[in-house]
C-alpha cells in the first residue's frame, strides 16, 4: 500500500522526542485525506515555526512575488519567508528550533525553486548545528534522466547545482545527493514513502494532484512544463494568464501552420500539437490575441520533454524575425534563457538539434552513474 513520507510519521516519532520543530511546506504538504502536514505535526510533535517557499505557505502567490514574515492564522505560529529578503534560514530564525522538516511535492525539474529552498535550509542546518528531516514524496515525472548538466557559470536560484533539467530522483533522494555529492554534510534524515516504485510516474498511484504552484494546475502540465518552461526566457508566451499555462505557447506574430509543418519534420516522439488562439489576461501579451500551439502528450512514460522544448524553440527562432531572448534582469547578468538551460548553447546558437541530442546523451550517462548511488527505492 502506498504511503507518503508524512504518513509514516508514527513509526518515526522518536526522532522528534524532546525536540523543537520547524516546517517548510505549502499546500502540497498533505496526507491522502488532504490533512495538512502543518496540522499533523502540530498535533504530534512540538511544532514551533513555519517556513514559506516561493508562492507562499498557502500557495496563493504568483512567481517571483516576495513575502515577509507573519503569523499563521490557524496555528498562531510564526511564518518565516524563504522567498523574500532571505533565501536561507538565518541564525535568528533557527534559534528556537532543533529540527527543520521539509514536506513539499516537487515536480522533478531543475529550474523549480523548492529544491533550492531545501538545499539552503540544509546549508543553514549545517552552519547552526540543526537536523533536517525530509518527508519524501513521489517524483511525478519518474526516475528518467534528461537534459544537460548545469554549467556553474549559469548558477542561480533556478539552477544551483550541477544536475540536469530532469534529474529522476524523489526529493528525499535528491536531498541525500545534495548533502553528499555537493558536500553540504548536514545531519539529514529522510522519512521514506511506503509502496513506492522507482520507475513509477504520478499516474501509477491514482493520487489526487494538488497544484504545487499557481501555474501547474494538473499532473499532465508538469510533464509539458519540462518542455515549455524554456520559453520564460523569451518573448513567446508560455501560456501564463490562461487556463492552461505551460500546456500552450504563443505570440501575436506566431505563424502556426508553418511552424507545425516544420515541427512535423522532426517527428518528436509521443507529442501531438494543434494550432489555437488565446488571449492572456496577465503576464506576456496581456489582453492581446496570440496565435499558438497547444500540446498533448501521448505517452507520459516515454516522452522526452526537455529535448522537445528545445526543438520547438529552435524552430520558432528560425521562422520568426520577431523572436527575441529576454535581456538579463540586471546589467552584466546572464539571460533568463541561459539560467533556465544552465548553459548558453541555445541563446548563442552554438549547437544544432543533433548536437544538442548528443550533449544530452553524454550528460545523462554521466549523471545516471551519480544518481544511482542515492536511489533508495527499488
Strands (DSSP E) contained in the chain are 20-25, 46-52, 70-71, 78-81, 99-103, 131-135, 187-191, 248-251, 271-278, 290-297
User: What DSSP letter does each residue of 129-163 carry, written as one string?
Assistant: T-EEEEE----TT-S--BS-PPPGGG-BTTB-SS-
Using alpha carbons only, give the angle 103, 55, 325 rounded to the nearest 5 degrees.
120
292 near 250, Cβ under 8 Å? yes
Q: Is 117 left (phi over 0), alpha (psi -120 to 50) or beta?
A: alpha
- In the predicted structure, residue 254 carries a pLDDT above the cut 60: yes
Q: What are phi and psi of 242, to 5 degrees?
A: -125, 180
pTM of the model: 0.95
Q: Which residue has the higher pLDDT, 329 or 226?
A: 226
Report residue 63's pLDDT band, with 50, 70 and 90 as the boundaries: low
pLDDT number for residue 47: 98
Q: So what's the pLDDT on residue 179?
A: 99
Query: According to CATH, what is the number of the domain 5-211+369-374?
Result: 3.40.50.12170
Nearest alpha-carbon partner for 93 in 117, 73, 115, 74 = 117
Percent of the chain clearing pLDDT 70 (strictly above)? 98
CA distance 316 to 228: 12
Over residues 271-287, mean pLDDT = 98
pLDDT computed for residue 59 by the predictor: 56
Number of other CB atoms surrounding residue 354 within 10 Å: 8
Query: What is the Cα–Cα distance from 131 to 125, expressed in whole angstroms?
Result: 6
Cβ(339)–Cβ(158) below 8 Å: yes
347-356 per-position pLDDT tens digit:
999 999 999 9
Instruction: Assess whether the region 5-211+369-374 and the region 219-347 belong to the same CATH fold.
Output: no
Q: What pLDDT shows up at residue 331? A: 86
CB 218 within 8 A of CB 295: no
pLDDT of residue 332: 87
Fold for domain 219-347?
3.90.1150
Question: SS3 for 46?
Answer: strand
Bridge partners, residue 277, by sequence: 291
Order of strands across the sheet that contains 271-278: 248-251, 290-297, 271-278
C-alpha cell at 324: 527575441
Say what the pLDDT of residue 83 is: 86
pLDDT at 66: 59
Residue 306 has what pLDDT?
99
Q: Is the pLDDT of residue 17 over 80?
A: yes
Confidence band of 65 (pLDDT split at 50, 70, 90): low
**pLDDT tens-place string over residues 138-197:** 999 999 999 999 999 999 999 999 999 999 999 999 999 999 999 999 999 999 999 999
| Lowest mean pLDDT, pick from 10-14, 67-71, 176-180, 360-364 | 67-71
What pLDDT, in 10s, does the model give residues 301-333? 999 999 999 999 999 999 999 999 999 988 889
Per domain, the residue ranges of the chain are 5-211+369-374, 219-347
Q: What pLDDT does residue 315 have? A: 98
Amino acid at each position: 500500500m502506498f504511503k507518503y513520507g508524512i504518513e509514516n510519521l508514527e513509526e518515526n516519532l522518536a526522532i522528534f522526542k524532546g525536540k523543537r520543530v520547524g516546517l517548510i511546506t505549502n499546500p502540497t504538504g498533505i496526507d491522502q485525506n488532504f490533512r495538512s502536514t502543518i496540522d499533523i505535526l502540530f498535533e504530534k510533535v512540538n511544532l514551533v515555526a513555519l517556513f514559506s517557499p516561493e508562492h507562499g505557505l498557502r500557495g496563493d502567490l504568483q512567481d517571483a512575488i516576495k513575502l515577509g514574515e507573519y503569523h499563521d492564522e490557524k496555528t498562531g505560529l510564526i511564518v518565516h519567508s524563504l522567498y523574500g529578503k532571505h533565501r536561507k534560514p538565518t541564525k535568528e530564525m533557527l534559534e528556537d528550533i532543533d529540527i527543520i522538516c521539509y514536506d513539499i511535492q516537487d515536480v522533478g525539474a531543475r529550474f523549480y525553486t523548492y529544491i533550492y529552498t531545501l538545499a539552503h535550509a540544509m546549508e543553514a542546518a549545517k552552519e547552526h548545528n540543526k537536523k533536517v528531516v525530509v518527508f519524501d514524496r513521489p517524483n511525478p515525472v519518474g526516475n528518467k534522466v534528461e537534459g544537460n548538466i548545469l554549467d556553474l557559470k549559469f548558477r542561480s536560484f533556478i539552477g544551483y547545482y550541477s544536475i540536469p533539467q530532469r534529474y529522476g530522483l524523489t526529493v528525499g533522494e535528491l536531498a541525500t545527493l545534495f548533502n553528499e555529492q555537493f558536500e553540504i554534510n548536514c545531519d539529514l534524515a529522510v522519512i521514506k514513502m511506503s509502496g513506492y516504485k522507482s520507475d513509477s510516474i504520478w499516474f501509477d498511484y491514482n493520487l489526487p494532484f494538488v497544484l504545487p504552484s499557481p501555474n501547474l494546475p494538473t499532473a499532465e502540465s508538469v510533464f509539458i512544463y519540462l518542455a515549455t518552461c524554456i520559453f520564460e526566457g523569451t518573448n513567446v508566451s508560455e501560456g501564463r494568464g490562461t487556463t492552461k499555462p505551460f500546456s500552450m505557447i504563443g505570440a501575436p506574430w506566431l505563424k502556426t501552420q508553418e511552424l507545425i509543418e516544420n515541427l512535423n519534420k522532426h517527428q518528436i516522439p509521443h507529442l501531438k500539437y494543434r494550432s489555437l488562439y488565446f488571449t492572456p489576461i496577465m503576464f506576456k501579451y496581456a489582453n492581446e490575441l496570440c496565435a499558438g500551439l497547444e500540446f498533448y502528450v501521448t505517452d507520459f512514460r516515454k516522452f522526452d520533454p526537455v529535448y522537445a522544448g528545445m526543438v520547438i524553440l529552435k524552430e520558432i527562432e528560425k521562422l520568426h524575425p520577431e523572436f527575441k531572448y529576454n535581456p538579463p534582469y540586471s546589467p552584466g547578468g546572464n539571460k533568463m534563457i541561459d539560467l533556465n538551460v544552465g548553459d548558453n548553447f541555445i541563446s548563442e546558437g552554438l549547437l544544432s538539434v543533433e548536437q544538442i541530442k548528443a550533449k544530452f546523451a553524454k550528460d545523462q550517462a554521466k549523471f545516471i552513474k551519480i544518481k544511482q548511488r542515492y536511489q533508495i527505492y527499488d
